Amino acid sequence: MDHTVRIKKRITVAVAGNPNSGKSTIFNMLTGAHQHVGNYPGVTVEKKEGFCRWEDTEIRLIDLPGTYSLTAYSVEELIARNFIIEEHPDLVVNVIDASNIERNLYLTTQLIEMEVPLILVFNMSDIARQRGLVFDIDRLSELLESPIVQTVGTKGQGRDVLLQAIVETARRGRSSRVHRVRYGHEIEAELEGIESILKAEEPVLVDHYTSRWLAVKLLENDKAITSLVRSDHVRRIVVAAIARLRTLFAEEPEMIFAERRYGFISGACQEAIRNTVELRHDLSDTVDRVLTHRYLGLPIFLLFMYIVFFLTFKIGAYPMRWLEMLFGRLGTTVAALWPAGADSLPRSLLVDGIIGGVGGVIVFLPNILLLFLAIAVLEDTGYMARAAFVMDRIMHRIGLHGKSFIPMLIGFGCSVPAIMGTRILENRPNRITTILVIPLMSCGARLTIYALLIPAFFPPAWRGPMLWLMYIIGIVLGVICAKVLRMTLLKGETSHFVMELPPYRMPTFKAVSIHMWHRGWMYLRKAGTVILGISIVLWFAMNFPRVAAEDLQGMDNDHAAQVRLERSLMGRIGRAMAPAVRPLGFDWKVGTALIGAMAAKEVFVAQLGIIYAVGEADDHPESLRERLQQAYTPLQGFCIMLFCLISAPCIATVAMTRQETGRWRWALFQWTALTAMAYVITLIVYNIGALLLH
């Protein structure tokens, strides 16, 4: 081979490390991607791929979910573990939170044992410096047998050095290790024995995983690795060795392994890390005492929630009104392109169907942006995990634990990522229960329905509490449903609850705005594609079949429009289903809009917009909200919101439930049960309300 010619290479690099150590931040720094970053463990729950180039090498990076060890307890950890162990990346970039090094190095000791080419990234070195930690990098690098690169992922510091190190280390390939982590001579003797038998009897496995790592895993009683071993001889020897160690130490061998690893780590840290600042009383501990206080915690959380939704609504109302005016003016301008009084179908399609439908959805963009701004702040400050803590007591009573509340909070943005986020839950019945109730958390799309209806039916002073009430109703119903599920279909142990609490961080403007714009853009894209398509279909369904002109003779414009609408396809469907929704206080227009909402909840808003535009002559200046106000009572308005909150999760949610539970059964069950529950609850509320108000 000619070494003067530069060969283009492709390498695969896994980014691995403890949860919340900054893996996705490093991944984004290297690839320029915008993977979701947040200050709590379990943000990334699937592997993500990205590319970058350095010199002659194309680097394929895989951002993995976080994991504390190479033994997996939950789905997302399994993804990380399997990628590292089974797919043999050319290199593992182990991202380490340098301000919290001892715990982070536990995984590192296991990676070293695997003999994969390894780079240690000491991320968050800004925070480590603030805490007064000084690293003897050369010494640490020697002890840990791997190159070390210091980075500040959020500021992009250390990018080039890291890329250089990746390319160089990958070039060197897999190398055998000294194995400085020793487990004491009793264990080492057993390891040696098992290694030599493995080499003789399981050459394929040894070639794939290295003998020392296999021997350690077998003695640690790792189920997945033990099941790979075919040879009975090896199995017998391992069982005997474990029994010997157990009697010798009066403890499970895997605990001895863990202790010895930490022993090695703490020795290395004492040797190579100096602490120049005396640790003072931590402010964050004081904050935590208040926020996680046993009596104050929950009220503080509810207050935060109130403030968030109130502001989303209050501040969002101004730009929303400007957008409404803008679309209103756009509508009149476009309508004016046709001669006045002419009955033109293209004009109606443009003005009533597209501007009325899509525009009616887009006007809520400010609310959506504010909502996701609030969620981003919640995620980035570290309060998210505290909310999970505060809710743990309630969650515990219903047979879940606080961790389930994190995906539920994400569900206030959108159910789809929330359902995926349940991967952090270790226990399957827990996880399925959480998935099933997530749609009860009012998502961003339902916020648009509330933002349309609440101002139409309630005086200003009631609006904030009303919105808050909708969210609380969702949470309470979710809690009740979870309890019922755990007592019936999804019985089982509540798994143990441990979760890391991330440090408090000031959210950066950049991170928060990227997140906000990303979600805002998704909303606009949805409005411009799915909602646009559905709006056009709905418009056709409301205008065809046409009514013959002679049937409309003698009617005024409004009446004619009304008759036309009633005889259209949509009108017929609506009238067919009217008896079903009448007990809930809904007329056929709301009824048909509920069908549209099954595709996506925003369609409800779009469809009401279209139906009220089509159903009237064009010379009405009222806004949709004023029309709704004339058509329904506040009680009906409330019942519409209630029904939209509980019923039929959207198609994307159904598909995600199917994907994450692995069964259509659960998705269908979720859909049917929620819809039935919505019907019953709305029926009761409407009828009791109607009685009381009369």
Partner 1 sequence: MDPSGLNPDKEQVKPLSKVKAGQTARVVRIEAGASANARLASMGLVPRTQVSMISNGHPGPMVVSVKGAKMMLGRGMAHKIMVCAASPQ
- CA dist 475 and 470 (Å) reads 9
Neighbours of 596 (CB within 10 A): 26
CB of 39 to partner 1, least distance (A): 13
Residue 449 · residue 647 · CB < 8 Å: no
- How many residues bind to Mg ion according to rule CB under 5 A? 4
Neighbours of 333 (CB within 10 A): 11
Size of the site for ligand GTP (CB under 6 A): 26
DSSP string of 574-595, one letter each residue = HHHHHHHHGGGT--HHHHHHHH
Which 59-98 residues touch ligand GTP, going by CB under 6 A?
Answer: 65-66
In eight-state DSSP terms, residue 507 is P
Report the nearest approach of partner 1 to the CB of residue 391 (Å): 10
Q: Is 629 in the site for partner 1 (CB under 8 A)?
A: no
- Quote the least distance from Cβ 609 to Mg ion, whole Å: 39
- CA-based nearest residue to 200, from 230, 156, 242: 230
Partner that binds at residue 82, options ligand GTP, Mg ion, partner 1, none, CB closer than 5 to 8 Å by kind: none
Select 103 or 625, whichever has its Cβ closest to Mg ion. 103
Task: Give the residue, chosen from 185, 280, 294, 694, that forms a contact with partner 1 under the rule CB under 8 A.
Answer: 294
The one among 44, 67, 442, 623 contacting Mg ion by CB under 5 A: 44
To ligand GTP, the closest distance from the beta carbon of 497 in angstroms equals 18
Rounded CA gap, 690 and 672, in Å? 27
Q: How far is the CB of 71 from ligand GTP (least distance, A)?
A: 17
Q: For residues 21 and 210, which CB has a smaller minimum distance to ligand GTP in the complex? A: 21
Q: Which one of 40-48, 135-143, 230-238, 388-396 is the stretch in contact with ligand GTP (CB under 6 A)? A: 40-48
In this chain, which stretch among 21-29, 158-166, 493-501, 572-580 interacts with Mg ion, using CB under 5 A? 21-29
Q: From the CB of residue 281, how many other CB atoms can be counted at a distance below 10 Å?
A: 6
Asked if 480 touches partner 1 (CB under 8 A), the answer is no
Any contact of residue 210 with ligand GTP (CB under 6 A)? no
Cβ neighbors of 187 (< 8 A, separation 6 or more) are: 219, 245, 253, 256, 257, 260
- At 601 the three-state DSSP class reads coil
3-state secondary structure of 85: helix
Give the chain's end-to-end CA distance (angstroms, integer). 93
Here's the x/- map for ligand GTP, 99-128, by CB under 6 A: it reads as ------------------------xx-xx-
Q: For partner 1, what does the binding mask look like between residues 230 and 249, x meaning CB under 8 A?
A: -------------------x
- Rounded Cα–Cα distance for residues 303 and 322 (Å): 29
Please, what is the minimum distance in Å from the beta carbon of residue 388 to ligand GTP?
Answer: 14
Cα 154 to chain center, whole Å? 21
Q: Is 73 in the site for partner 1 (CB under 8 A)?
A: yes
Q: Out of 11, 30, 31, 44, name the contact with ligand GTP by CB under 6 A.
A: 44
Please, which of residues 182-221 interact with partner 1 by CB under 8 A? 220-221
Angle, helices 634-646/444-457, rounded to nearest 10 degrees:
170
DSSP 47: -
41 binds, among ligand GTP, Mg ion, partner 1, none (CB under 5 to 8 A by kind): ligand GTP
Task: Please provide residue 236's backbone torsions phi and psi, each rounded to the nearest 5 degrees.
Answer: -60, -45
Task: Look at residues 356, 265, 342 and name the one whose alpha carbon lies nearest to residue 625.
Answer: 356
Residues 337-366 that bind ligand GTP (CB under 6 A): none
Q: State yes or no: residue 35 binds partner 1 (CB under 8 A).
A: no
Closer CB to ligand GTP, residue 21 or residue 433? Answer: 21
Q: Does 259 bind partner 1 (CB under 8 A)?
A: yes
Give the neighbor-by-neighbor strand order of the sheet with 118-123: 48-54, 57-63, 9-17, 91-97, 118-123, 148-150
DSSP code per residue over 165-232: HHHHHHHH------------HHHHHHHHHHHHHHHHH-HHHHHHH-HHHHHHHHHTT-HHHHTT---H
CB burial readout 202-230, b (16+ within 10 A) else e: beebbeebbbbbbbbbbbbbbeebbeebe
Residue with smaller CB distance to Mg ion, 144 or 424 = 424
Residue closer to Mg ion by CB (options 21, 592) is 21
211's CB contacts (< 8 A; 6+ apart) are 195, 198, 199
Name the one range near Mg ion by CB under 5 A: 24-32, 151-159, 203-211, 402-410.
Answer: 24-32
Among 182, 289, 491, 546, binds partner 1 (CB under 8 A): 289
42 binds, among partner 1, ligand GTP, Mg ion, none (CB under 5 to 8 A by kind): ligand GTP
Least distance (Å) between residue 615 CB and ligand GTP = 49
Q: What is the smallest separation between the CB atom of 468 and partner 1, expressed in angstroms?
A: 24
User: Which secondary-structure segment (H or E) carries 164?
Assistant: helix 159-172
For residue 424, the minimal CB distance to ligand GTP (Å) is 9
What is the bridge-based pairing of β-strands 57-63 and 9-17? Answer: parallel
* Least CB distance to ligand GTP at residue 41 (A): 5
Task: Check: CB of residue 557 under 8 Å from CB of residue 614.
Answer: no
Q: Does 179 bind ligand GTP (CB under 6 A)?
A: no
User: Among 19-27, 262-270, 333-341, 483-491, which window interacts with ligand GTP (CB under 6 A)?
Assistant: 19-27
Among 11, 42, 77, 217, binds ligand GTP (CB under 6 A): 42
Residues 6+ apart with CB under 8 A from 175: 115, 117
Residue 420 and residue 661: Cα distance in Å, rounded?
A: 10
Closest CA to 361 of 333, 395, 327, 389: 327
Token couple for 46: 């699937």
Residue 73 CB, shortest distance to ligand GTP, in Å, is 14
Q: Interface with Mg ion includes 43 (CB under 5 A)?
A: yes
Q: How far is the CB of 65 from Mg ion (least distance, A)?
A: 7
Are the C-beta atoms of 566 and 559 separated by less than 8 Å?
Answer: no
Please say which residue, 95 or 624, places its beta carbon nearer to Mg ion.
Answer: 95
- According to CB under 6 A, which one of 314, 505, 572, 575 is a site residue for ligand GTP? 505
**Residue with Cβ nearer ligand GTP (225 or 374):** 374
Site of tokens 């202790």: 259
Residue 318's CB is within 10 A of a number of other CB atoms, namely 10
Pairing type for strands 118-123 and 148-150 reads parallel
Q: Which of 11, 14, 22, 215 binds ligand GTP (CB under 6 A)?
A: 22
**Is the link from the previous residue into 545 a cis peptide, with omega within 30 of 0?**
yes
Cα 620 vs. chain centroid, distance in angstroms? Answer: 43
> What residues from 380 to 409 belong to the interface with partner 1 (CB under 8 A)?
385, 388-389, 392-393, 396, 401-402
**Residue 141 dihedral angles phi and psi, to the nearest 5°:** -65, -35
CB of 39 to ligand GTP, least distance (A): 4
Residues interacting with ligand GTP, by CB under 6 A?
19-25, 37-39, 41-44, 65-66, 123-124, 126-127, 152-154, 380, 505, 511
Residues interacting with partner 1, by CB under 8 A?
68-69, 71, 73, 99-100, 102-103, 106-107, 220-221, 249-252, 254-255, 258-259, 262, 285, 288-289, 292-294, 297, 385, 388-389, 392-393, 396, 401-402, 494, 496-501, 503
Residues interacting with Mg ion, by CB under 5 A?
23-24, 43-44
